[in-house]
């Protein structure tokens, strides 16, 4: 991720936005894609497993899976505002000691991040220009399960991202951009790391996918 894009992340996902999302989570619970992803992971079995949540936002996946006996979680975030909100909610729920918070560009410092049984990237691939540079080390960190949520390639999704989201960012002089990475390329990277698809569901513009290591 280049410096300009990284700065754009902090501007888009700032503290005000993080705590607004946290308020929504506290009032209404996790968003639909999060619920679908969590349900698919629970179906595979998560009891006693560790979690690495890359780009976890306010930590909804972490909070929900800790309730279902995940042993510990690592929250890796490029937004300091999201980390603050995640930490606040973890303390409120009584799981503060079970989450380690790390800040930065995962693709640049992934060697410093310990592996986990479960790795999740919900709505993260679309925020990163170098899909393989982010996804390949994420796959390598996964001991058992990998969960992804990213845009599918329907024409209306591509048009919405190009002419609504990215045009708005460009007009506001924000260097952050949203990407629709080819599903076939995502699948290639995952398959090359020995992971097999176990669950797939579309939710609006998103595709929710869970993969497992062979033999799991």
Mean pLDDT of all residues belonging to the chain:
92
CATH number at residue 198: 3.40.50.150
Confidence of residue 214 (pLDDT cuts 50, 70, 90): confident
HEC-encoded secondary structure of 113-151: CCCEEEEEEECCHHHCCCHHHHHHHHHHHEEEEEEEEEE
Between 198 and 6, name the one with better pLDDT.
198
Residue percentage of the chain with pLDDT more than 90: 78
Q: Treating both helix axes as pointing N-terminal to C-terminal, what angle do 131-141 and 183-192 enclose, rounded to 10 degrees? A: 30
Instruction: Give the per-residue pLDDT at 112.
Output: 85
Instruction: Give the per-residue pLDDT at 216.
Output: 64
In the predicted model, is pLDDT for residue 6 greater than 70?
Answer: no
Instruction: Give the per-residue pLDDT at 9.
Output: 63
Instruction: Give the per-residue pLDDT at 3.
Output: 41
pTM of the model: 0.92
Instruction: Give the per-residue pLDDT at 78.
Output: 87
In the predicted model, is pLDDT for residue 7 greater than 70?
Answer: no
Instruction: Give the per-residue pLDDT at 108.
Output: 86
- Per the structure, the count of domains in the chain is 1
Q: Across residues 40-62, what is the average pLDDT?
A: 97
Q: Smallest Cα–Cα separation from 58: which of 33, 88, 27, 37?
A: 88
Instruction: Give the per-residue pLDDT at 2.
Output: 41
Q: Smallest Cα–Cα separation from 85: which of 113, 114, 112, 56?
A: 56
Sign of the Cα pseudo-torsion (35, 93, 77, 138, in order): negative
d(CA 204, CA 137): 28
| Containing structural domain, residue 33 | 3-213
d(CA 138, CA 110): 8
Confidence of residue 107 (pLDDT cuts 50, 70, 90): confident
In the predicted model, is pLDDT for residue 14 greater than 80?
Answer: yes
């Amino acid at each position: 991720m280049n410096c300009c894009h990284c700065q754009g992340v902090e501007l888009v996902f700032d503290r005000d936005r993080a705590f607004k999302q946290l308020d929504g989570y506290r009032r209404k619970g996790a968003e639909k894609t999060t619920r679908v992803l969590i349900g698919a992971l629970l179906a595979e079995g998560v009891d006693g497993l560790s979690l690495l949540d890359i780009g976890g936002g306010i930590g909804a996946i972490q909070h929900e899976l800790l309730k279902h006996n995940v042993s510990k979680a690592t929250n890796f975030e490029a937004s300091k505002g999201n980390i603050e909100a995640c930490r606040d909610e973890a303390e409120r729920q009584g799981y503060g000691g079970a989450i380690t918070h790390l800040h930065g560009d995962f693709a640049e410092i992934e060697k410093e991040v310990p592996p986990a049984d479960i790795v999740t990237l919900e709505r993260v691939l679309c925020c990163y220009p170098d899909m393989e540079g982010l996804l390949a080390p994420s796959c390598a960190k996964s001991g058992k399960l990998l969960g992804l949520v990213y845009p599918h390639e329907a024409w209306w999704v591509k048009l919405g991202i190009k002419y609504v989201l990215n045009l708005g960012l460009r007009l506001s002089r924000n260097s952050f951009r949203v990407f629709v990475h080819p599903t076939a390329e995502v699948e290639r990277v995952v398959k090359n790391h020995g992971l097999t698809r176990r669950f797939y569901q579309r939710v609006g513009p998103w595709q929710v996918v869970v993969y497992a290591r062979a033999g799991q």
